[in-house]
Chain A
Amino acid sequence: AQSVTQLDSHVSVSEGTPVLLRCNYSSSYSPSLFWYVQHPNKGLQLLLKYTSAATLVKGINGFEAEFKKSETSFHLTKPSAHMSDAAEYFCVVSGSPIPYSGGGADGLTFGKGTHLIIQP
């Protein structure tokens, strides 16, 4: 079974300062990992994904994440926070191993979420 742990339920940063959202994963095989963002009363938007092609993954809106197998981590960072980044962020692991070998369409397992607050 796979799981993810988001180490902070809330993170508060000032606008223009770096953002770090922490995530650790547990998986019995090489996982697919994702970060999703959810703005208030909105749906889930994919920020970026790791599927073994490169350990440093660049996503939308200036976000990036680094897969570190030795630390079982997949932390999300952004050099400079913007007010529009205020939202809930979910670290997610896929049940399907990589490379994808066919078979069942496994559901995603979400972390508990990190609420990002941007101070003006």
Chain B
Amino acid sequence: AAGVIQSPRHLIKEKRETATLKCYPIPRHDTVYWYQQGPGQDPQFLISFYEKMQSDKGSIPDRFSAQQFSDYHSELNMSSLELGDSALYFCASSSTNRGREQFFGPGTRLTVL
């Protein structure tokens, strides 16, 4: 079965640079979620989109923004990167018609030097 796809899988950036992470949900899933997991930490919810509209907002810094496109893929844009942004970023997708169970992608590991 198709799973959530995230790209790139690994990304290395310098401080103050920008980064864009991409997420391709499971086909026919209408909702996308972004999570950040710092080293040795539990995942923290950042933001979600339902039918291309922002739905819920968690602990997402103002330097980050995200959107969901017409094909339901989503991008997380991160600007003015800081060392503390180094983390594993997970995307998850769900379907309203199937109870909103969230299926996670493999994650993008971002390292800020």
Contacts and interface: CB of A to CB of B under 8 A. Distances in A.
Interface of A: 36, 42-46, 49, 51, 90, 94-96, 100, 102, 104-113
- Most chain A CB neighbours (cut-off 10 Å) among B47, B50, B104: B104
B31 interface: yes
29 contacts: A43-B90, A43-B104, A43-B106, A44-B90, A44-B104, A46-B103, A46-B104, A90-B43, A95-B56, A100-B100, A102-B96, A104-B50, A105-B31, A105-B33, A105-B49, A105-B50, A105-B55, A105-B94, A105-B100, A106-B55, A107-B45, A107-B46, A107-B48, A107-B58, A108-B43, A108-B45, A109-B45, A110-B44, A111-B42
A48 B55 CA distance: 25
Interface of B: 31, 33, 35, 42-50, 55-56, 58, 90, 94, 96, 99-107
Nearest to B51: A105
Contacts of A112: 42
A113 B42 contact: yes
Contacts of B46: 107
Given A90-B43, A100-B100, A110-B42, 7 more contacts: A45-B104, A96-B100, A102-B96, A105-B48, A105-B100, A106-B55, A110-B44
